[in-house]
Structure formats: C-alpha cells, structure tokens
C-alpha cells in the first residue's frame, strides 16, 4: 500500500454506476491488487462562503474523516475538472474551526461507505451512498498534465474488465447526487 497513489495535483477519475457489488468483487478478486481499506465510513464536510463563492468558481473545499482507519484529509478541487489536491491532517475539528474563522461555513455533510484497492498504478474505490447506490471510481493522481488523456484511456480499459461501459459512467459528483437526493 502506498501513499504515492494519492500524490499529484491532477486526478484522472472515471466514476461508474455498479449494478452488482458481488460481480464487481468477483472481478477484482481475479486481478493482482492490494487492499488499502475495506468498508470505511467516510464523512465529508463541504465548506463555502455564505454567497457560495467557491461553487461559482467551480471549486470545492472539504474536510474528510474516515473510520475506522482514522485518516483525516483536507481536500480542494477545481477550478479545472481534473484539479484535485488533498493533504493529511491530524485534527479535523481544528481544520473545520479554521475554515469557519476564515468565513467559510459548512453547507453539506455527506457519508459514504468506501473500499479502496490498488491495481498497478491505479486506485479503484468501491463506494456505497445510502439512497443513491453503488459506484466504482477508477483513478490516478499525477503532476503531469500531458498524461491526462492517456491515463483516461487506460482507466477506460481497466473499467471494461469489470464490464463497465460509457453507458455506466456517472459525470455528476457525489456532492451533486447527494444534494439531488436530499431535495427529493
């Protein structure tokens, strides 16, 4: 298991609807892989200004706590679709307080159950969001912007081994899906 999988300022990520968790797990069992986490609960707190300045700039800031692993992250995404940076933190409560001191307020708390697998240089997450369903994210982090297109092609090929196609792609963020579900 390596933190190298999560280093870089760009993330190529393809998210797919997963019809059968059992079928997904059967395929991953046939591939050489490492397990980072199994069935961790992740809680994300999203912050923005009262005017939603970050959202209008296509940016997001969140604090993530993962249990039982104990991992805590500060995550910033955008403004480009592939732009994503995360750093480990030791005190999520203090980080949330610091954001509040800077004028940011929490506007969404989102939970998911996540397992993370490493297949070669790629990481695959299997996620479950209550009321929304199962998803698999195939991803890689990089500092090399010139590699984004080739990584996307390689990730599509990896996803195809799981029987996932372009028709299964989900282009909306979990945040958007969660907000849509909570307004129903």
Number of residues that this document lists for the chain = 184
Which residue from 18, 21, 15, 23 is spatially nearest to 38, judged by alpha carbons?
A: 21
Supply the pTM of this predicted model: 0.83
Q: What is the pLDDT of residues 61-74, one digit of tens each?
A: 999 999 999 999 99
Residue 5 DSSP symbol: G
pLDDT given for residue 1 in this prediction: 42
22 φ, ψ (degrees, to nearest 5):
-60, -45
In the structure, what pLDDT confidence band is assigned to residue 184 with cuts at 50, 70 and 90?
Answer: low
**Up-side HSE of residue 8: CA atoms within 13 Å toward CB?**
21
Q: Output the pLDDT for position 127.
A: 97
Distance CA 44, CA 24 (A): 25
Torsion over CA: 16, 28, 66, 132 (sign):
positive
Quick: pLDDT tens for 84-119. Answer: 888 999 999 999 999 999 999 999 999 999 999 999
pLDDT at 126 over 70: yes
Q: How far is CA 23 from CA 18, 113, 163, in A?
A: 9, 18, 9
Which residue from 5, 4, 1 is spatially nearest to 33, judged by alpha carbons? Answer: 1
Which domains are seen in the chain, by residue range?
3-182 (2.40.320.10)
User: What pLDDT score was predicted for residue 71?
Assistant: 92
Task: Summarize pLDDT for 12-56 with one digit per residue, the tens.
Answer: 999 999 999 999 999 999 999 999 999 999 999 999 999 999 999
Render pLDDT for 151-182 as a digit per residue (tens, 0 to 9).
Answer: 999 999 999 999 999 999 999 988 889 888 76
At 183, the pLDDT band (50, 70, 90 cuts) reads low
> Which residues does the annotation mark as catalytic?
46
Can you give the pLDDT at residue 96?
Answer: 97
Q: How far apart are alpha carbons 3 and 51 in whole angstroms?
A: 35
Write the DSSP string, 107-154. Answer: EEEEEEEEEEEEETTEEEEEEEETTTEEEEEEEEEES-GGGHHHHHHH
Question: Taking all residues of the chain, what is their mean pLDDT, rounded to a whole number?
Answer: 92
């Amino acid at each position: 298991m390596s933190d190298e999988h999560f280093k870089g300022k760009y993330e190529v990520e393809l998210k797919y609807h997963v019809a059968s968790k059992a079928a997904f797990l059967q395929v991953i069992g046939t591939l050489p892989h490492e397990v980072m986490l199994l069935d961790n609960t992740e809680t994300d707190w999203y912050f923005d200004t009262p005017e939603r300045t970050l959202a209008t700039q296509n940016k997001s800031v969140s604090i993530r706590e993962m249990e039982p692993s104990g991992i805590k992250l500060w995550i910033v995404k955008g403004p480009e679709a592939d732009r994503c940076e995360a750093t480990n933190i030791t005190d999520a409560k203090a980080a949330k307080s610091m954001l509040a001191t800077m004028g940011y307020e929490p506007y969404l708390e989102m939970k998911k159950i996540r397992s993370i697998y490493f297949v070669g240089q790629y990481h695959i997450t299997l996620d479950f969001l209550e009321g929304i369903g199962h998803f698999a994210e195939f991803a890689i982090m990089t500092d090399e912007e010139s590699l984004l297109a080739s990584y996307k092609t390689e990730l599509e090929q990896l996803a195809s081994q799981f029987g996932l196609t372009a028709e299964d792609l989900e282009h909306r963020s979990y945040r958007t899906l969660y907000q849509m579900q909570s307004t129903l």
